[in-house]
Structure 1
Amino acid sequence: MKNCSCPYISFDFKSRFLPPVFILVFIIGLATNGWGLKSLLHKWKKLGIVNVFVLNLGLADILYLLTLPFLMVYYFRKGEWIFGDAFCKITRFCFNLNLYGSIGFLTCISVYRYLAIVHPLRVMGRLTVTHSVTISVMVWLLVSVQSLPDMFYVKTTNKNNTENCFDTTSKDYVEDYLRYSLGWTLTGFLIPLLITLGCYGHVIVVLCHTNTTDKVLKQKCLKLLFILILLFSVCYIPYHVLKNLTLYSRVLLNRNTLEIPWERGVFGAHQISRGLVCLNSALNPLVYLHTVEDISAQVRQLLQQTRQMFNCWCTSNPGRVPVSQNVDEV
């Protein structure tokens, strides 16, 4: 009966929960990332050091968002993959590039903020856009090397004349995949998390003990820190913890362990974390607002224009006059 529980949860629960999340992320993410990238590319020649990292962050999001329609079809069809084994691996590879590329570029932005505030004279004068481009290329290469072994694992299997597309691998290779996943979690997630926490921890200490620091700069750093905490706590931490726990439970099942009381709960929570982790493509554009001056100014201008249009509409709406007259007559 245990072996039947996972397919029941995966095909029924995932087909109801994941597609609406994917649709929401696809619409919001494509609109916000597209607008942000357009704003950055509009001033390509004046692209700053941190803007290069933000640009690559947006490209990583777009890469993943373009695969979401195929995953929507997959889950709407209750786990029937119709696009072939090669494209299944490409889709999962794009997800991993987005996930660990986002973590990598957020870490680069955090280190840049740290250097700009804690060591402004010693380091910042030596950094150029060329350095940030080189670092971005290294991040892409590192993430690709980390994600490439995942493509060599079995991703599709035919069961009851239905082809599935695994986000990890089939049960025959799950024990080896667990070891790979733990190493991947350490290098692709845990180490960048510690670097980010260390950078912003030091930045907050410096800002709190320096009275001469601009208040606007303090607010920007605190807001960006809040966004990063939101991304890691909602999107990244639950996904990595539950993914590895689910793999571990599958290993125990393969070893014929008689009872795993937490298996169902962990597997169901992992499906929720898979929906939450893709939210990073919709939440990452928040980073644009607190790192790129031009974009934040454009947003403020847009909000101001929207508010003015709304006020003008309210004052000039002819439908409001008859209502007031009728009230007076009554």
Structure 2
Amino acid sequence: MPADNCCWTEEKFHLGGSKNISNYTLVDLLSFLPSDRSKAIRIAIAVVYSLVCALGVVGNLLVLLLLRSSHRRKTSSMTFFMLNLAVTDFQFVLTLPFWAADTALDFSWPFGKVMCKVVSSVSAMNMYASVSFLTAMSVARYCSVVSSLKANKSSAMHQAKVASAFIWLFAAVATLPHALFSTTHVFSDDELCLVKFPELEGIDPQFLLGLYQTQKVLLGFIIPLAVTSACYILLLRFLSQQKMSNNNPKRRSRVTKSVTIVVLSFFICWLPNQALTVWGILIKFNLLPFTEAFYNTQAYIFPITVCLAHANSCLNPILYCLVRKEFREALKGILLKVTVPSVRALAKPIQGQAKPCEPSQGRPM
């Protein structure tokens, strides 16, 4: 899902139309949720989306500027992956105003079928790209540390460019179900933006939706988590074997700090959302019964997990600036370039106005 934004609208649609997962009607289920509290939650989520969008746009633009200035001085595969990650986060946060409006209107999509398909596909593609670039950063960090004495910068940059092209291609292919089946559907006088699979003979659309959500959990969370964990386990093992060497101990302690924090922040932010998605998948496959607890969790907890997942897109720029020393120094340089000329420009008129009040030298008062 595009950060599982339309997961709730899909549940809202399918709960009313599927007899396989629930004995409740949609009217029965809606009675569980007080309307005033539901409205307050939706408004709060829309506000959070708007704040994340504003912070994400400013933060990722700043990161792109910092990476560009750093890129001129020193080119590395890690910098190239971070540049692509900032681009994906920036593109993703640009879709949040659409989801904020959708949420505030009780998941009634006001932008039409074409924008539903476009916004949904862009959100999903950048979700896949973001986790893939984070995984690539972990692999690149392990390779750069282990082979630091034999590193070939030109070869590493070529491999990073090829890997980045492959990641964007993979993200585009993984998003095809969204591009093909994202549409609007009128349900209870509301136009919902959701992924609606066709009704094929002998195949329940709920089952197809469960398969697609399984793909998202595997490709967007479990497999990247496994690869990243393996990289850091191998990296810690390698560093422990180098304790007696003459390497700089401070460098060893800092070598994985920034990437570790960035990657861990991603998985911490996305873990609750992915866990609830897995719960929904098990219900769609009829492996677990649909219960009132699941509905209440989707109504109250799931929106919070979506906000937490979205917050990761504006958290990465903050981590870049606070954790990496070169980014902090570059940020100070940019702030000095902006503030010093402004202070001088303000000081000139003041100085010019002060001169007529000064006594002229050589002339009596």
How many angstroms apart in 1 are the aligned matches of 2:328 and 2:31?
46
Of residues 145, 162, 187, the one that matches 2:173 is 145
Q: Deviations over 1:258-316 (max 9, x none)?
A: x62532244233222211111121112145348866423224567999xxxxxxxxxxx
How many angstroms apart in 2 are the aligned matches of 1:297 and 1:146?
38
**1:262 and 2:290 matched:** no
**1:224 and 2:259 matched:** yes
Is the alpha carbon distance of 1:52 and 1:236 closer, same or farther for their aligned partners in structure 2, counting shifts above 3 Å?
same
How many angstroms apart in 2 are the aligned matches of 1:50 and 1:296?
17
**1:180 and 2:212 matched:** yes
**1:111 and 2:139 matched:** yes
Question: Who is 1:3 aligned against?
Answer: 26
RMSD: 3.3
Q: Counterpart of 2:234 in structure 1: which amino acid?
A: H
Q: Deviations over 1:124-164 (max 9, x none)?
A: 55733222111111000001111112232253211233211
How many angstroms apart in 2 are the aligned matches of 1:111 and 1:173?
37
How many angstroms apart in 1 are the aligned matches of 2:322 and 2:139?
15
**1:56 and 2:87 matched:** no
Percent identity between matched residues is: 24
Question: Who is 1:321 aligned against?
Answer: none
Moved more, 10-19 or 129-138: 10-19
Gaps of 5+ in 1: 306-330
Moved more, 119-128 or 146-155: 119-128
Question: Who is 1:98 aligned against?
Answer: 126
Q: Counterpart of 1:295 in structure 2: which amino acid?
A: F
Of residues 330, 349, 352, the one that matches 1:298 is 330
Is the alpha carbon distance of 1:129 and 1:173 closer, same or farther for their aligned partners in structure 2, counting shifts above 3 Å?
same
What pairs with 1:196-275 in structure 2 (closer than 5 Å)? 196-211=228-243, 212-214=246-248, 215-233=250-268, 235-250=269-284, 252=286, 260-268=291-299, 269-275=301-307
* Structure 1 residue 250 displacement after superposition: 5.0
Question: Who is 1:21 aligned against?
Answer: 48
How many residue pairs match? The answer is 302
Is the alpha carbon distance of 1:291 and 1:133 closer, same or farther for their aligned partners in structure 2, counting shifts above 3 Å?
farther
Is the alpha carbon distance of 1:107 and 1:281 closer, same or farther for their aligned partners in structure 2, counting shifts above 3 Å?
same
How many angstroms apart in 2 are the aligned matches of 1:274 and 1:6?
20
Residue pair 2:57, 2:90 contacting (<8 A) in 1 also: yes
* Structure 1 residue 228 displacement after superposition: 1.8
Residue pair 2:57, 2:93 contacting (<8 A) in 1 also: yes
Q: Counterpart of 2:293 in structure 1: which amino acid?
A: W
SS at match of 2:186: strand
Q: Counterpart of 1:53 in structure 2: which amino acid?
A: F
Is the alpha carbon distance of 1:130 and 1:173 closer, same or farther for their aligned partners in structure 2, counting shifts above 3 Å?
same
How many angstroms apart in 2 are the aligned matches of 1:160 and 1:199?
49
* TM-score, normalization by structure 1: 0.79
Residue pair 2:210, 2:284 contacting (<8 A) in 1 also: no
How many angstroms apart in 1 are the aligned matches of 2:69 and 2:144?
25
* Structure 1 residue 191 displacement after superposition: 1.4
* Structure 1 residue 17 displacement after superposition: 3.5
Residue pair 1:174, 1:247 contacting (<8 A) in 2 also: no
How many angstroms apart in 1 are the aligned matches of 2:327 and 2:47?
29
* Structure 1 residue 69 displacement after superposition: 1.5
Of residues 43, 48, 64, the one that matches 1:37 is 64
Q: Counterpart of 1:159 in structure 2: which amino acid?
A: F
What pairs with 1:65-84 in structure 2 (closer than 5 Å)? 65-84=93-112
Question: Who is 1:164 aligned against?
Answer: 192
Q: Which runs of 4+ in 1 moved over 6 A?
A: 167-172, 302-305
Residue pair 1:220, 1:290 contacting (<8 A) in 2 also: no
SS at match of 2:111: coil
* TM-score, normalization by structure 2: 0.72
Gaps of 5+ in 2: 1-23, 338-365
Larger CA Rg, structure 1 vs 2: 2
How many angstroms apart in 1 are the aligned matches of 2:217 and 2:188?
33
Residue pair 2:125, 2:174 contacting (<8 A) in 1 also: no
Q: Counterpart of 2:304 in structure 1: which amino acid?
A: I
Q: Counterpart of 2:26 in structure 1: which amino acid?
A: N
Q: Deviations over 1:157-214 (max 9, x none)?
A: 1123321113677997222111122133223321111111111122223334423343
How many angstroms apart in 2 are the aligned matches of 1:247 and 1:272?
19
